[in-house]
Amino acid sequence: MAAIDTLMDLAGKAERELDANVAEVDRILHICNACRYCESFCAVFPAMTRRLDFNVADAHYLANLCHNCSACLYACQYAPPHEFGVNVPKALAQVRRDTYIEYAFPRVFGELYRCNGLTVAMAVSLGVAAFLIATILIKGSLFVPGLEGEFYAIFPHNTLALVFGAASLFSVVALAIGVTRFWRQVSEPGKPVAMPAAVGEAAKSALTLQYLGGGHGDGCNNKDDAFTLWRRRFHHFTFYGFMLCFASTSVATLYHYLFGLEAPYPIFSLPVILGTLGGIGLLIGPAGLFWLNMRRNPLQMDDRQKTMDRGFIALLFFISLTGLALLAWRDSPAMPLLLAIHLGFVMGLFVTLPYGKFAHGIFRCAALLKHAIEKRRPNPVQAGAD
Amino acid sequence: MVDVLIVGGGNAALCAALMAREAGASVLMLEASPKDWRGGNSQHTRNLRCMHDAPQDVLVEAYPEEEYWQDLLKVTGGETNEPLARLVIRASSNCRDWMRRHGVRFQPPLSGALHVARTNAFFMGGGKALVNAYYRSAEALGVKVRYETPVTEMLLDGDRFVGVVTEAGERITAKACVLAAGGFESNREWLREAWGRNDRGEWPADNFLIRGTRFNQGVLLKAMMKAGADMIGDPSQGHCVAIDARAPLYDGGICTRIDCVSLGVVVNREGERFYDEGEDFWPKRYAIWGRLVAQQPDQIAYSIIDRKVVGRFMPPVFPGVVADSLPELAAKLELPVETFMETLDGYNAACQPGTFNHTVLDDCMTEGVAPAKTHWAQKIDTAPFYAYALRPGITFTYLSLKVDDTAAVRFADKPSPNLFVAGEMMAGNVLGKGYTAGVGMSIGTAFGRIAGTGAAAAARAAHTIGRH
Ligand SMILES: Cc1cc2nc3c(=O)[nH]c(=O)nc-3n(C[C@H](O)[C@H](O)[C@H](O)COP(=O)(O)OP(=O)(O)OC[C@H]3O[C@@H](n4cnc5c(N)ncnc54)[C@H](O)[C@@H]3O)c2cc1C
Ligand code: HEM
Ligand code: SF4
Ligand code: SF4
């Protein structure tokens, strides 16, 4: 009984917290809707003017449309210490965390967001430990001379493909279910629109991180009211670095199965070039994002997401670092050790994809798409005071 | 000793500081407020009225000098000064590149403000973003800023500026000075005195809300009056609009406006209507409603609408009082239900058939009821019913220091060699009464820049004299 009570208590608390976070967004956006000074900074404000009240679905949608650029915090005449205490980026960040929790699949795993630093640390530790143990079990030692460059002498390619294939398949399915449920809740029926145009616009906004530009292109805010483009640039390093690494793996898989070409590939082969470039991006990007994150004005953030953000940044950084180290020393006896560590980090990322910061990209894309669709429909609120 | 001392920290002060610094002067700004509240009323603004002969980035079509001047002439009823007004108008046509260089960004007109798309350039993020940009630029150029440093006294030698004394008793001297400390709209005592007592024995100003900063206490207007400076503008007048009665006492800003007045009826505490709610579009009428509400008992009135017009006006910041019937609404508002119902029944019965359209001056009007409602008169009969209480909200005061086109403060019609004034403290020269959106910032920007340049030149002159 006691256990059930505790669970019910926890569930009740989570619900009240969600209600409180949505209520805060509703309160603040009522003020913004009467003010509208921030209309050109981003997509959130134009989306807001299509509504008079903000329910749970609206709050989730707008929260994920927000890029946390914080231009509207420094520009706000009602920001703290004003008694209205308007802080849009913070209020929306709080709901964003609720989105990740609420729409995670399976739902109970959403709870992992509540202690995300621990989640990521555990996933990585377990991943690394598993590969280290496996290496020892298979080869009897972590330093095996004579295996230089022979990755598959330790873990056969098919085993790796199976393990990582299964992990990523699960993650992709879990993310897809989550974002589909999100989509169902936030989208409403309406006039059909030109979908290719809408998708194109959303993709462009996502790929250029348009809304980290502050509307004027000067950038977003980090520690004070001055604008910086570095957050966007470092995210580009991170994102495109990640995509290059992903491309590298995909090309390598094609080489393997289609052409029967086995790793290790020469330095000037496509997979290694893509992987190295991506790896460098994935060092510079996360390092820069970490630096900015440490200097960010606490007013702009939801405190409870600091560990999730920093944990994810660190994870990406170490994946890249261990990957590049493996490339550098692949022909040394340390190769098995480095391989096990690198695979462990990658596994840590793969299994936490649907339960960590990675989800932000997916939900943001969905929100951008919804916005691109919705803005092509007539505004249901005809409030023109003209 | 610093070359140029700037008293104030809003738009006019910042424009003066930047220009003086660009002219090579060393500049110190004294802002009364803490950093969080810097920028006076300027932080609440949203646009600047701009002359332009052809479309310009965010501005559509043209707004020629002559039309701008005619608009000013109309709203001020002639209480303006043509050469100074034209100076402001012309300056508004070419100041925006300079503003952009100092980090100000413009945006297309806000939704709900399309009626000024042609005449007004909106600041991206509003006045606070503008103020932030100017402070960043000023500090980068080496302007020194001291917050929480209200000036209480002016030190003059005849018509020559010598220095100031701060609230903490510190004496600060400079070769030249620009006063840009706003009007006296935040000074409740002074407002009370200026508005006086009405026939009912009330002090109406006690019920006024101040839409902007709490720091514009008019200390320097008083000091300069005492020092014998030439003044202009009616000391008993201010720009007053009808705003939500629940707005905070200070800094409620733009969002406390109530935009549904013209779509319903307005009754006073006695439950009676007192003016044609549909005379004209609300943006053209909200200013007279401040005064109208100020004349009602208790300085309060209630805008009443029904379900039909929800979503047809800019959403108010606070939710309205809601009821399923009109008597219930009256009871919730603690209005005399019987009179209230007589008023509403009378009004409803007087509504003539017409085609309601809130975007034009439509043909829905009343017949046989006083006061008449001449547009948008629809029966108030569809539950739920909503009410918003209104109070007068004061935007700024008109009392000013008299200037000519050099922005110099004048004594017995002679300009001071080194004391200048800008912004609200001299806006009465151009805007003796009335208001049209965006003119406050045009005046402050034009004269702030003139005053800054003048002060830098005066400081240079003082320097040369000092050397001989
Ligand atoms: C809600 C609202 C909206 C408005 N919207 C617009 C608009 O969209 N467009 C427009 O053109 N106009 C608008 N106005 C009018 C506009 O705000 C003023 O015309 C303009 O800001 C005046 O600028 P200023 O620099 O003279 O005064 P302010 O910006 O008020 O600055 C005065 C400064 O002096 C400081 N100060 C006061 N006393 C002292 C002292 N003793 N010592 C030192 N410092 C002192 C204050 O702290 C403040 O920083 C609006 C006004 C309000 C209230
Ligand atoms: C595809 C669409 C994506 C969009 C639109 C997007 C957008 C954003 C935005 C706006 C932020 C800043 C606000 C926040 O912290 O939440 C952010 C942060 C971050 N993103 Fe992305 N992202 C995407 C994909 C990715 C991917 C694929 C990665 C890496 C694998 C990534 C890594 C990060 C990291 C590490 C941060 C945290 C940085 C910080 O603390 O500021 N993002 N993203
Ligand atoms: S954030 Fe502040 S300034 Fe911007 S729209 Fe909202 S209330 Fe207005
Ligand atoms: S923080 Fe940036 S993206 Fe988010 S609502 Fe404010 S301006 Fe828009």
Question: Ligand 2 in contact with A235 (CB < 6 A)?
Answer: yes
pLDDT at B465: 66
Per-residue confidence at A4, pLDDT binned at 50, 70, 90?
low
Q: Is the pLDDT of residue A1 over 50?
A: no
In order of A174, A368, B138, the CA distances from B151 in angstroms are 64, 50, 21
Expressed in angstroms and rounded, the spacing between residue A214 Cα and the centre of ligand 3 is: 14
CA dihedral of A89, A90, A93, A98, whole degrees rounded to 10: -140
Q: Two tokens at B211?
A: 């839409």
pLDDT for res B113: 82
Q: How many CB atoms lie within 10 A of CB A253?
A: 14
Interchain CB distance below 8 Å, B255 and A31: yes
The pLDDT of residue B326: 98
Any A CB within 8 A of B44 CB: yes
Residue B391 has pLDDT above 60, yes or no: yes
Tell me the β-bridge partners of B178: B6, B420
**A386 has pLDDT over 60:** no
Q: How many CA atoms lie within 13 A of B364 on its CB side?
A: 21
Report, as an integer, the average pLDDT of A92-101: 96
At A324-365, the pLDDT tens digits run 999 999 988 888 899 999 999 999 999 999 999 999 999 999
What pLDDT band is residue B460 in, cutting at 50, 70 and 90?
very high
Tokens of A342: 């690198």
Residue nearest to atom 4 of ligand 3 (CA): A38
Instruction: Give B424's Cβ-side CA count (13 Å radius).
Output: 28
- Is any ligand 1 atom within 6 A of the Cβ of residue B14? no
Q: Write down the pLDDT at residue A264.
A: 85
The pLDDT tens digits for A276-322 are: 999 999 999 999 999 999 999 999 999 999 999 999 999 999 999 99
Q: Where in chain B is the domain with CATH 3.90.700.10?
A: 239-393
Average pLDDT value for residue range A96-112: 94
Residue with tokens 């004496």: B171
On whether any CB of chain A is under 8 Å from the CB of B362, the answer is: no
Q: Is the pLDDT of residue B464 over 90?
A: no
**Residue B316 beta carbon below 6 angstroms from any ligand 1 atom:** no
Size of interface A-B (CB pairs under 8 A): 120
| Separation between Cα atoms, residue B373 and residue B351, nearest integer Å | 8
Q: Is the CB of B185 under 6 A from ligand 1?
A: no
* B384 touching chain A per CB within 8 A: no
What is the rounded average pLDDT of the residues B215-244?
95
CB < 8 Å to B112, chain A: 36, 49, 383-386
At A363-377, the pLDDT tens digits run: 999 999 999 999 999
CATH 3.50.50.60 in chain B is located at 2-183+218-233+399-467
Residue B352 CA to ligand 4 center (angstroms) comes to: 47
Tell me yes or no: is domain B239-393 CATH 3.90.700.10.
Answer: yes
For residue B13 and ligand 1, the question of a CB distance below 6 A is answered with: yes
Collapse the DSSP code of B243 into the 3-class scheme (helix H, G, I; strand E, B; otherwise coil) and give the result. strand
Q: What average pLDDT does range B143-158 have in this prediction?
A: 98
In this predicted structure, the answer to whether residue A258 has a pLDDT above a threshold of 50 is yes
Whether the CB-CB separation of B434 and B77 falls below 8 Å is answered with: yes
- Atom 7, ligand 3: residue with shortest CA distance: A32
- pLDDT for the residue A2: 60
- Minimal Cα–Cα distance from A201 to chain B, Å? 20
Cβ contact B161:B174 at 8 Å: yes
Positive or negative: CA dihedral A37, A41, A46, A51? negative
Pick the residue from chain A with its C-alpha nearest to B212. Answer: A77
CA distances (Å), B266 to each of A4, A275, B101, B276, in order?
A: 56, 70, 46, 9
From A72, A381, A385, residue closest to B311, measured CB to CB: A381
B244-271, pLDDT tens digit by residue? 999 999 999 999 999 999 999 999 999 9
Residue type, A25: V
Q: Which atom of ligand 2 is nearest to the CA of A68?
A: 13
The interface predicted TM-score (ipTM) is 0.94
Mean per-residue pLDDT of chain A? 92
Residue nearest to atom 11 of ligand 2 (CA): A67
pLDDT tens track for B64-91: 999 999 999 999 999 999 999 999 999 9
CB atoms within 10 A of CB B461: 14
- Residues ≥6 apart with Cβ < 8 Å to B67: none
Question: What pLDDT does residue B407 have?
Answer: 98
Classify A333 as helix, strand or coil: coil
**Stretch 233-292 of chain B: residues touching chain A, C-beta under 8 Å:** 248, 251, 253-257, 259, 281-283
* B54: exposed, middle or buried (Cβ count in 10 Å: 0-12, 13-18, 19+): exposed
pLDDT band at B466 (very low <50, low <70, confident <90, very high): low
pLDDT in tens, B187-226: 999 999 999 999 999 999 999 999 999 999 999 999 999 9
Residues of chain B contacting residue A49, judged by C-beta atoms under 8 Å apart: 111-112
Residue B149: DSSP 8-state:
-
Ligand that comes closest to the CA of residue B34: 1
Which protein residue has the closest C-alpha to ligand 1 atom 14? B45
Nearest CA in chain B to A29: B317
Please report residues of A whose CB lies closer than 8 A to that of B285: none
Mean pLDDT of B389-402: 96
In this predicted structure, the answer to whether residue A11 has a pLDDT above a threshold of 70 is no
3-state SS string over B97-129?
Answer: HHHHHCCCCEECCCCCCHHHCCCEEEECCCHHH
Mean pLDDT of B16-31: 98
Chain centroid offset of residue A229 CA: 19
Backbone phi, then psi, for B449, in 5-degree steps? Answer: -70, -40
CA atoms of A201 and A367, how far apart (whole Å) = 12
- Beta-ladder partners of B244: B390
Can you name the residues that pair with A367 across neighbouring β-strands?
none
What distance in Å separates the CA atoms of residue B212 and residue B393, rounded to the nearest whole number? 9
A71 lines ligand 3 (CB under 6 A): no
Chain-chain contact of B315 with A36 (C-beta, under 8 angstroms): no
Task: Calculate how close chain B gets to A104, using CA atoms only, in Å.
Answer: 34
The DSSP bridge partners found for residue B172 are: B164
CA distance A164 to chain B (A): 47
Distance from CA of A316 to the nearest CA of B (A): 35
Q: Is the CB of A66 under 6 A from ligand 4?
A: yes
Which of A39, A82, A384 lies at the smallest CB-CB distance from B251? A82
d(CA B66, CA B52): 11
Q: Which CATH code of 3.50.50.60, 1.10.3720.10, 3.10.110.10, 3.40.50.410 fits the domain covering B2-183+218-233+399-467?
A: 3.50.50.60
Please state the atom number of ligand 2 nearest to the C-alpha of residue A234. 38
**Whether residue B468 has pLDDT greater than 90:** no
pLDDT of residue A384: 54
Say yes or no to pLDDT of A189 above 90: no
- Residue A263: pLDDT band with limits 50, 70, 90: confident
- pLDDT classification of A10: cutoffs 50, 70, 90: low
Mean pLDDT (chain B) is 95
Nearest CB to B128 within list A75, A382, A386: A75
Residue B285's pLDDT band, with cuts at 50, 70 and 90, is confident
* Residue B53, burial from CB neighbour count under 10 angstroms (0-12, 13-18, 19+): exposed
Tell me A304's DSSP state.
G
Which among A37, A41, A225 has CB closest to B132? A225
Ligand 4 mutation pick, A32, A38, A205, A222, max ligand atoms within 8 A of CB: A38
For A265, the 3-state DSSP assignment is coil
Most A CBs within 10 Å, among B317, B318, B386, B388, to test the A interface: B317
For A226, nearest residue in chain B (alpha carbons):
B136
> What confidence score (pLDDT) does residue A3 get?
61
Strand runs (DSSP E) across chain A, as ranges?
220-221, 227-228
On whether any CB of chain A is under 8 Å from the CB of B313, the answer is yes
Does pTM surpass 0.90? yes
Least Cα distance to B9 among B28, B36, B30 occurs for: B30
Which has more confidence, B394 or B285? B394
Instruction: Give pLDDT, residue A18.
Output: 72
Cβ neighbours of A83 in B, within 8 Å: 248
Dihedral through CA A75, CA A81, CA A82, CA A85, nearest 10? 80
pLDDT of residue A6: 66
